Amino acid sequence: MLNSPVEERRVPAVRMENVTKTFPGVKALDRVSFDVDHGEIHAVVGENGSGKSTLLKLMVGAFPMDSGLIRIDGDEVRLRSPREARKRYGIKIMPQDVELCGQLITGRNIMLGLEGALVDRNRLSRREQAMTTEVLRLIGAHVDPLVLGEDLSTPEARFIQIAHALLPPVSVVLCDEPTAVLSTVDAEALLATLTRIRSEAGTAIVYVSHRIGEVLQIADRITILRDGLSVGTFRRDEIDRQQIIELMTKSARVGEQGAPSQDAPRSAANRSRLAVKALGQGRSFSDVSLEAAAGQIVGIAGAQGAGFGPLLAAIAGRMKYDAGSIELDGVSIPPGSTTKAYKLGIALVPADRRQAGIVPSLTVRENIALPVAGSLGRNGFRLRRAERETSRKFAEVFDIRGAGLNTMAGNLSGGNQQKLAIARSLQGDPKFLLLEEPTQGIDIGAKAEIRHYISRLVRDEGMGALVASSEFEDLIGFSDVLHVMRLGRIVATFDGKTATYSDILHAALP
């Protein structure tokens, strides 16, 4: 039986005591205590929804706490904004997404938010040049400060984010899945950089990651969260990979929680088959082979950044692939051909439903009619009655609750927005539906509804579905076949009805 012995430290860089944070319908953190010392890498691990990201956002002042307190260097503080956390206390966050201002030079990206009143976007002052040169030296990044941000590679851009986070004043750096978009070689370089910074600069580093191997490689201490609660904090030499996974996971086998009944046989009347062979696209994914048949749900599980998003985009023609092939019923889908993929019968529901799945500024009716407006028009004119009838049918089928067909899509709940995104994709009567993170960010009831609708489309309509998710519990007991992706490759395949959460987690985590 593991204990969680955490000796009292003198004055932690940051200490959180009995912190609670609740969002509508969910308690993200429940009386969690956590601290990180100067000169320490403290890792935070847990499954999706365990509270990791919320913990970081409270620590950087992005969210207010419901209760509890935060101490910085022993003094109780109330953080009101990330700006205050950064400027007053030296707490900075390195987000998971790699984003820079492409039209600014690299040095200006490093200095962003720390400039004076008057700056030249394409030049650095002597003081700024000295500061950027020193911080780039500290992290071992060989990047020209005068190169435009848009000309940097993804690893280079990530290192510029690190440089920005380490520019004085800095006391604490919060890292949210920092290696999710990096190759193995680049990830190793980043880990070495963080370890050196911890030792040389005495910086406190909070490291959130799904990659247990990385955590055991660099962390001094490890805190495990589950369902918003702290399971325990352990020194690295007190715990191993198997014990971490056991403490992260729920005791019950996932798949028993609201998965739709699979008793009714799934129809495969159209006998369509999708074949992906040795598909590759740069660093996004490589050598991916899988098949999906009509009347079948194929799941793809993986941690965030595993590569399933770009994979689905490539199958749907939204991203060019540079190796392998995609065939639907023996007909090849060329790289980057959205039109060919759609005409053959492939529809994609992307993860970012608000930005890419629906148009928030249009009504429910307009959104449903939008994908195939040509089929609801004649000689260039829209057939309003056909639009209304089609929209009403899909709104009723998917039970899209709201004020009516003229409700603005942006005013719908997250669950209803997701159902609307799926309804939009069905307008063209696809043979295969590709869904990325279909249940992410919606409540339990809406998740069950989404799974029910997907299952019904497959079982009753004979459609094929490829469902990719980082929320493993939504795939177990729901998929017929379940592939696991890790670092851009399929590394394991399970029977979706008998797989366990632990099986998937072992395969998914590097």
Please list, in sequence order, all residues whose beta carbon lies within 8 angstroms of the beta carbon of residue 459, skipping any fewer than 6 positions away: 264, 265, 266, 267, 295
198 vs 43: CA distance, rounded Å: 13
Tens digit of each residue's pLDDT (9 = 90 or more) over 192-222: 989 988 888 889 999 998 888 899 999 999 9
For residue 25, what pLDDT is reported?
A: 64
Q: Residues in the chain with pLDDT < 50?
A: 1, 3-9, 251-269, 372-383
Tens digit of each residue's pLDDT (9 = 90 or more) over 259-298: 444 444 444 445 789 999 999 999 899 999 999 999 999 9
28 vs 25: CA distance, rounded Å: 9
For residue 124, what pLDDT is reported?
A: 87
For residue 475, what pLDDT is reported?
A: 92
236 vs 129: CA distance, rounded Å: 39
75 vs 35: CA distance, rounded Å: 13
Of 208, 195, 136, residue with least CA distance to 165:
136
SS3 assignment, position 319: coil
Say if CB 425 and CB 349 are below 8 A apart. yes
Report residue 180: phi and psi, to 5°: -60, -30
SS3 assignment, position 461: helix
Residue labelled with tokens 């039970």: 399
For residue 392, what pLDDT is reported?
A: 58
For residue 290, what pLDDT is reported?
A: 96
User: For residue 198, what are its two tokens?
Assistant: 């911890």
Instruction: Find the DSSP H helices in 150-305.
Output: 154-166, 184-201, 212-218, 241-248
Say if CB 173 and CB 204 are below 8 A apart. yes
Instruction: Find the DSSP H helices in 256-325.
Output: 308-315
